[in-house]
Amino acid sequence: MSQDRPEGRRAALMTLAWSWVGLPFAYGVYELFLKLTQLFAG
């Protein structure tokens, strides 16, 4: 049972780390898409 906790903790940490990087990146790509559509549509 002691082996399950570190792996679960590591999975939670990896999820947090990917979210910390991925969410702002996804938001930036979304904002870029909006600005590109304004640039080429207007």
Q: What is the pLDDT of residues 1-42, one digit of tens each?
A: 445 578 889 999 999 999 999 999 999 999 999 999 999 997
Residue 18 pLDDT: 96
Amino acid present at 19: S
- The model's pTM is 0.69
Residue 4 pLDDT: 55
Q: What is the CA radius of gyration of the chain?
A: 18
Residue 3 pLDDT: 52
What are the φ and ψ backbone dihedral angles of 33, each rounded to 5 degrees? -60, -45
